[in-house]
């Protein structure tokens, strides 16, 4: 039978609804007119049989119009007919299809039961021998095994598009490819995959809901600035979907907020690896690299973000500023211009590289060379708070020295200047292990070892009372480190023991020039000034020490003796001077007048034993009496001595009056402790 005859037989099987049955013209234009059917007719079995087949509910469709692969039936045979389960093209209005024979269903099960496909051995009397039942639409493209055809149930309308076509009760799966609603992070890709079983489908749906909930809660905590709480939920989201670049990015943001930059860098790099086309991931990684001073890496990812339309012009400006100031700082270091090196390093840090270990090391070294050791040490402490793992990722070099090695070298120099010699040797050894071939590293390591050895030998000789040999040992160490304040101070102690006062003063001066707040050198110089009877200089050093070491008995006693000696050399009366005395109680007007008229400074404290402010400030007055031995402290209890309070017109307590040589110079009513202390010390110093 020819192809044209087969087509005529198929067309003859079609009928119109409502009893108005008309034959369609036998032409291909009318035969393929109805292309809106979700089911296309299938070809006959590839065999020698000549039986024709007709569709029970679908109109014919050309195989060339198909858009899905071939469907296999139960016997493993392949057909060229196709299924369109995702789209439902509209049919002409009012179009209603029905077959010329009874409808054949797939068993009436909505879960995809057995299909009613006729047996291969059927004769031509069966109108549905070689057609796919209209009800058996499976997204998987596979038809279940053959089963006996059931009795035809009543038809059920199932609207898949416009029109009112009746279809069978087969397994129609719709919406399987829909992903859940998007939250602030991207949903993981597995949520859109259809499941093979209802149980696994429910599990996947539950995971998606849980992932979205974890992300939402994490975002809420992040917006409140509670990065630790946000990280907890982001961690759970990552555990649910470890291959989600968005989850990794959220986790990195929380880690940045917590200051865990090394962990944040790892998460950001993982996000970029999982989704190289994410401009946001590249932008976040670039910003993090900029903070860490990784200039080239930041530039690469900013370029990627720009290609993906996620680049911010402000980020490029920051990158250029950091790069410019970093270059200027390193150039200034090469020529020893430490002021410029410090200024440019601070500018680079302010421009955005606030966590760059290279810049912090440059800043610390510049402060060391400028003799600001305390600031250099505090900068080094900030550097040490950063994760050391970041150093191994910085492949840049500074004057041929690896950045990781350079950081250890700066640590060694700062530790040695502050007297931490063992720590200095350890840091220099670490630098040599990291960069064994660098000449500068080897030279600094050698110097650190020689200085530490000289200091240890000097200490042993000093303890053995061999002060001259100890001074020589300390001098040997200064040959390798001429700016070490500890060695100068130690050698000054040797000169003091050898009664070579002028040499001791010179070494103390040099130590204080390098380290202005070096308390041990200041105390040692004050003691030497005392032996030289340079009382004014001695009092000045002790005054500085008293501010730095409040309550230190040795300093207070040394200051008192120096003040007494200074007044004595000036011919002043020192009979009223006392050290560590108590506040004198005044009970009558005559005693009060006699006391305030004495030479020097007198502080009168009007108080009441029942007043809470007086109870609070009295211990401070007693402490000031011990700290200022040149000041006379008087106490007047207004409850027991009302006449004294009346003579001085005191109505509110506590009240303080300061007299100098019998003349009142200051009055304070209910002063704060800070104001009282400042005023008393001010007049105590002016009287010395």
Considering the domain architecture, whether residues 472 and 512 belong to the same structural domain is answered as: yes
Res 16: pLDDT: 36
Considering the domain architecture, whether residues 120 and 244 belong to the same structural domain is answered as: no
pLDDT at 543 over 50: yes
Res 41: pLDDT: 40
Note the pLDDT tens digit of each residue in 385-440: 776 655 555 556 777 788 888 999 999 999 999 999 999 999 999 999 988 988 98
pLDDT above 70: percentage of residues in the chain = 66
Residue 62 near residue 32 (C-beta atoms within 8 A): yes
Residue 509 located in a structural domain: yes
Neighbours of 479 (CB within 10 A): 12
Which domain CATH number covers 666? 3.40.30.10
Q: How do 631-637 and 584-586 pair as beta strands?
A: parallel
pLDDT above 90: percentage of residues in the chain = 42
In this prediction, residues 261-287 reach a mean pLDDT of 91
pLDDT at 95 over 90: no
**In angstroms, rounded to a whole number, what is the distance separating the alpha carbons of residues 671 and 682?**
15
**Ranges 120-124, 390-394, 618-622, most confident:** 618-622
3-state helix, strand, coil in the chain (%, to 5): 55, 5, 40
Considering the domain architecture, whether residues 388 and 493 belong to the same structural domain is answered as: yes
Residue 457 near residue 418 (C-beta atoms within 8 A): no
Position 564 confidence tier, pLDDT thresholds 50, 70, 90: confident
pLDDT averaged over every residue in the chain: 74
Considering the domain architecture, whether residues 111 and 220 belong to the same structural domain is answered as: no
Write the CA distances from 75 to 52, 132, 143, 146, integer angstroms.
19, 13, 10, 8
Cβ contacts of 204 within 8 Å, gap of 6 or more: 190, 191, 193, 195
Res 577: pLDDT: 62
Which domain CATH number covers 219? 1.25.40.10
Considering the domain architecture, whether residues 520 and 591 belong to the same structural domain is answered as: no
Residue 683 near residue 627 (C-beta atoms within 8 A): no
Residue 533 near residue 503 (C-beta atoms within 8 A): no
Residue 179 located in a structural domain: no
Final residue before a domain boundary, out of 292, 311, 330: 311
Q: Which domain holds residue 515?
A: 339-540
Final residue before a domain boundary, out of 475, 508, 540: 540
Number of separate domains in the chain: 4
Residue 53 located in a structural domain: yes
Residue 573 located in a structural domain: no
Considering the domain architecture, whether residues 18 and 70 belong to the same structural domain is answered as: yes
Considering the domain architecture, whether residues 22 and 139 belong to the same structural domain is answered as: yes
**What totals of helices (H) and strands (E) does the chain contain, helices first?**
26, 11
Q: What is the DSSP letter of 611?
A: -
Residue 80 located in a structural domain: yes
Complete DSSP assignment for 168-181: -SS----STTPPPP
**In angstroms, rounded to a whole number, what is the distance separating the alpha carbons of residues 484 and 506?**
14
Res 276: pLDDT: 92
Residue 578 located in a structural domain: no
Q: Two tokens at 406?
A: 């350079």
**In angstroms, rounded to a whole number, what is the distance separating the alpha carbons of residues 347 and 354?**
10
């Amino acid at each position: 039978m020819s192809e044209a005859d087969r087509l005529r037989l198929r067309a003859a099987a079609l009928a119109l609804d409502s009893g108005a049955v008309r034959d369609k013209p036998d032409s291909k234009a009318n035969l393929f007119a109805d292309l809106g059917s979700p089911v296309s007719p299938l070809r006959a079995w590839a065999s020698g049989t000549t039986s024709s087949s007709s569709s029970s509910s679908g109109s014919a469709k050309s195989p060339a119009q198909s858009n899905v692969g071939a469907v296999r039936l139960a016997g493993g045979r392949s057909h060229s007919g196709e299924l369109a389960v995702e789209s439902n093209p509209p049919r002409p209005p009012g179009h209603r299809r029905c077959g010329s024979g009874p409808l054949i269903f797939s068993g009436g099960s909505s879960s995809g039961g057995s299909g009613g496909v006729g047996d291969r051995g059927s004769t031509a009397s069966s109108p549905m021998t070689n057609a796919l039942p209209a009800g058996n639409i499976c997204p998987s493209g596979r038809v279940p095994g053959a089963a006996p055809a059931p009795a035809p149930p009543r038809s059920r309308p199932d609207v898949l598009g416009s029109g009112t076509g009746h279809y069978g009760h087969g397994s129609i799966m719709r919406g399987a490819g829909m992903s859940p609603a998007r939250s602030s992070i991207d949903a993981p890709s597995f949520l859109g995959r259809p499941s093979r079983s209802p149980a696994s489908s429910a599990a996947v749906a539950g995971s998606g809901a849980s992932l979205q909930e974890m992300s939402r809660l994490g975002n809420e905590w992040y917006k409140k600035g509670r990065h630790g709480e946000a990280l907890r939920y982001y961690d759970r989201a990552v555990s649910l979907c470890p291959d989600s670049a968005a989850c990794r990015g959220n986790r990195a943001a929380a880690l940045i907020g917590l200051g865990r930059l090394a962990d944040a860098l790892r998460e950001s790099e993982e996000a970029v690896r999982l989704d190289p086309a994410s401009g946001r991931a590249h932008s976040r990684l670039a910003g993090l690299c900029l903070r860490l001073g990784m200039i080239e890496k930041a530039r690469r990812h900013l370029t990627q973000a720009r290609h993906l339309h996620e680049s911010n012009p402000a980020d490029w400006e920051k990158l250029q500023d950091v790069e410019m100031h970093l270059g200027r700082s390193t150039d200034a270091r090469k020529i020893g211009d430490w002021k410029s090196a410090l200024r440019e390093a601070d500018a680079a840090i302010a421009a955005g590289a606030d966590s760059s270990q290279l810049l912090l090391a440059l800043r610390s070294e510049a402060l060391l060379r400028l003799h600001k050791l305390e600031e250099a040490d505090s900068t080094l402490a900030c550097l040490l708070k950063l994760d050391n793992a970041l150093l191994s990722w910085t492949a840049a070099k500074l004057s041929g020295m690896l950045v990781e090695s350079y950081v250890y070298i700066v640590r060694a120099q700062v530790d040695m200047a502050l007297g931490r010699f063992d720590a200095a040797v350890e840091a220099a050894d670490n630098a040599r292990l990291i960069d064994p071939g660098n000449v500068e590293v080897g030279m600094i390591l050698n110097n650190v070892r020689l200085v530490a050895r000289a200091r240890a030998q000097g200490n042993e000789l000093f303890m053995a009372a061999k002060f001259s040999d100890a001074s020589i040992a300390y001098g040997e160490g200064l040959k390798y480190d001429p700016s070490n304040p500890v060695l100068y101070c130690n050698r000054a102690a040797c000169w003091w023991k050898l009664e070579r006062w002028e040499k001791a003063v010179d070494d103390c001066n040099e130590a204080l020039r390098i380290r202005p707040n070096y308390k041990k050198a200041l105390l040692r110089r004050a003691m030497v000034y005392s032996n030289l009877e340079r009382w004014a200089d001695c009092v000045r050093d002790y005054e500085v020490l008293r501010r730095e070491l409040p309550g230190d008995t040795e300093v207070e006693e040394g200051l008192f003796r120096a003040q007494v000696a200074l007044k004595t050399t000036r011919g002043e009366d020192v009979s009223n001077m006392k050290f560590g005395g108590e506040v004198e109680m005044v009970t009558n007007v005559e005693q009060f007048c006699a006391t305030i008229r004495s030479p020097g400074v007198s502080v009168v404290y009007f108080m009441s034993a029942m007043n809470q402010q007086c109870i609070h400030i009295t211990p401070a007055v007693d402490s000031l009496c011990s700290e200022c031995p040149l000041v006379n402290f008087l106490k007047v209890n207004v409850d027991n001595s009302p006449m004294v309070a009346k003579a001085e017109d005191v109505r509110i307590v506590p009240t303080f009056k300061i007299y100098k040589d019998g003349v009142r110079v200051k009055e304070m009513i209910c002063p704060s402790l800070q104001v009282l202390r400042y005023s008393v010390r001010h007049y105590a110093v002016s009287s010395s």
